[in-house]
Structure 1
Amino acid sequence: MTSTKDFEVIIIGGSYAGLSAAMALGRSLRNVLIIDSELPCNRQTPYSHNFLTQDGKTPKEISTLARQQVENYKTVKFYKGLATMGTKTVNGFEITTDTNEKFTAKKLILATGIKDIMPEIKGFEECWGISIIHCPYCHGYEYRKQNTGILANGAKAFHLVSLVNNLTDNITILTNGKADFSSEQMEKLNKHSIKIIETNISKFEHKNGHIQNVVFSDKTKKPFDAAYGVIPFLQHSDIPVSLGCELNEHGHIKVDAFQKTTIQGIYACGDNSNMMRSVANAVYSGNITGAVINGELTNEQF
């Protein structure tokens, strides 16, 4: 909690990207407020991987240590709550929370993440992030040589199966409907002995989020150890679009190489602005954002 209402920078979102940006700014003695609801999208994921020095730690362990380190920089303040509205002001931006508190800042960082849209298949949500996974770089090694499903169709399935094929030779594409592959793609899938099941999926039988079987609409079932899911998403917060930030064709916030959005003074970092969805990338993009904003504040003030 903070009694101060005016800051140089407000960061909406206090997970990896937001904390990384805050550290860069705190080390330059910038007055920063992090507004965070403390409900990260990876809270169900048991372990994080492919991040040097933190490989195999839980997401909570990484974020807790990150926050403890950022808290050492006394110009960075924290507010637990949900940012619900953002407005442009003469001098910057005003952010309103769910308890109607208002904070202002010259610059705004959106580290708000994305919201996965789960299919209406029983058991999917309970397995998401545990044994139904999104990224072979983040989780594929742990399921190497395992009986693996690909929950996708068409070009997305073909791209994903090409990556997973290096991790296991037991792969089945579950298209949940008629398969949509070109003749050239089918030739490659057959060459690598990739199986395809077009029957609709009824449910995922699981134990504490670990898949046991995929049950199909014709009452048949097939055992799996893991599955990769390609599912749609939305921006986790309405604030970016309400402030005029453009989204790209994939639904991410459009940013340039310096994490600047299409609205002057607003920056975005982490999953909301990049399809490379990983802890390492979130930390990287947050670090860039903090440095760029500090440079801009310096140019404005010096």
Structure 2
Amino acid sequence: MLLDCAVIGGGPAGLNASLVLGRSRRKTILFDDNKPRNAVTSESHGFITRDGINPQELKRIAREELGNYPDVKIEKQRVLSVAKKNGVFQITAEDGGIHNAKKVILATGFKEVLPDIQSIKEFYGTSLFSCPFCDGWELRDRPLAVISENQPAFHLAKVVSNWTDNLIVCTNGKRTLSADEKVILESKGIKVYEKKIRSLIGEKGCLQKIEFDGGEAVLSDGGFVLPEWVQATDIGIQLGCNLNERGGIETDSWKKTTVEGLYACGDTLMAGPSQLILAAGEGSMAAISINGALIEEKFRE
């Protein structure tokens, strides 16, 4: 059977795209291996009517809602490859099954590579986070740290200062801040530590202090880390998509990639804040765009 669309990735972007496609009576298959980037996260924020929900509970509700639409099928498995032949996409799943579709949405997101700091994974998702708009409220008015080895440290520090007046910046041995940036930060009471971090110290995921080479330690209840972002899969690259400056899939405003019939949305674009509500909106836009393209193709026949 030739499907209207295959959606690869079952996060908010892929789920919302599938919902809109199902409501548009499009034969759709959603692939989700349930290995999300935010697996360590226990609460998701900033999504109206679902603020504070567990991400897996959000997915359960979404899948239950998709069950109301008979044209949407969910495959709980990974996609191994996608090829385009004679204008049709051939999707190979990990069970060996091959599915053919007129259109494909990439909603695979990205993976985070954390800085090489001892014990950082013990605190990530509990007292160290990546998005202040998602978790800044819970950490408000506490002594916090921004940990970053790259240039956006200055910007992130300015943003995080919205939630606390007790803030430090740690570059883990990298000199990524300019002299002017350090002067500006310190003029606002934000101290910069450029020594390499020896270890993060705390209990049960709750950070208590940061220890640097040489023995100096600073108290901190948590904060924000800037991980490196990499594509979760190389499907878009293999199909020939152009990438943006951050390594995300390049699209136009309707979520069309540079490959005809291929769309991308959500964190796959690496183009802005990583928030559920933005990803879901982009999934909706991609689905609306595909539905419009299919309608136009029908009337050209």
The TM tier, using the shorter chain, reads: over 0.9
Give the SS at the match of 1:120. coil
One-letter identity of the residue aligned with 2:9: G
Q: Which residue of 2 aligns with 1:181?
A: 177
Q: Which residue of 2 aligns with 1:276?
A: 273
CA contact (8 A) 1:49 1:139 kept: yes
C-alpha separation between the residues in 2 aligned to 1:84 and 1:151?
A: 35
C-alpha separation between the residues in 2 aligned to 1:180 and 1:237?
A: 29
Aligned residues: 298
> Which of 200, 206, 209 is 1:204 aligned to?
200
Mark the CA change 1:154 to 1:122 in structure 2 (over 3 Å): closer, same or farther: closer
Give the SS at the match of 1:292. helix
C-alpha separation between the residues in 1 aligned to 2:167 and 2:52?
A: 25
Q: Which residue of 1 aligns with 2:34?
A: 38
> Which of 90, 93, 97 is 1:97 aligned to?
93
Q: Which residue of 2 aligns with 1:80?
A: 76
CA shift, 1:154, in A, is 6.1
Q: Is 1:51–2:41 an aligned residue pair? A: no
CA contact (8 A) 1:149 1:173 kept: yes
CA shift, 1:135, in A, is 1.1
Q: Which residue of 2 aligns with 1:300?
A: 297
CA contact (8 A) 1:29 1:75 kept: yes
CA contact (8 A) 1:152 1:174 kept: yes
Q: Which residue of 1 aligns with 2:163?
A: 167
Q: List alignment gaps of at least 5 residues for structure 2.
A: none
Mark the CA change 1:155 to 1:91 in structure 2 (over 3 Å): closer, same or farther: closer
CA shift, 1:193, in A, is 0.7
One-letter identity of the residue aligned with 2:239: L
CA shift, 1:55, in A, is 0.9
Give the SS at the match of 2:152. helix
C-alpha separation between the residues in 1 aligned to 2:265 and 2:78?
A: 18
Structure-1-length-normalised TM-score? 0.94
One-letter identity of the residue aligned with 2:86: V
C-alpha separation between the residues in 1 aligned to 2:38 and 2:124?
A: 9
Deviations 1:43-64 (A, max 9, x none): 2112111111111111112221
Q: List alignment gaps of at least 5 residues for structure 1.
A: none
C-alpha separation between the residues in 1 aligned to 2:178 and 2:229?
A: 26
> Which of 102, 125, 128 is 1:129 aligned to?
125
Deviations 1:89-135 (A, max 9, x none): 11320011222211110000000010111222222123222221111
Q: Which residue of 2 aligns with 1:225?
A: 221
Q: Is 1:238–2:234 an aligned residue pair? A: yes
Q: Which residue of 1 aligns with 2:252?
A: 256
Q: Which residue of 1 aligns with 2:284?
A: 287
CA contact (8 A) 2:13 2:265 kept: yes
Alpha-carbon RMSD: 1.5
CA shift, 1:218, in A, is 2.0
CA shift, 1:200, in A, is 0.6
Mark the CA change 1:11 to 1:178 in structure 2 (over 3 Å): closer, same or farther: closer
C-alpha separation between the residues in 2 aligned to 1:230 and 1:154?
A: 8
Structure-2-length-normalised TM-score? 0.95
The range that moved more, 278-287 or 187-196, is 187-196
The range that moved more, 10-19 or 148-157, is 148-157
C-alpha separation between the residues in 1 aligned to 2:44 and 2:188?
A: 29
CA contact (8 A) 2:114 2:226 kept: no
Give the SS at the match of 1:87. strand
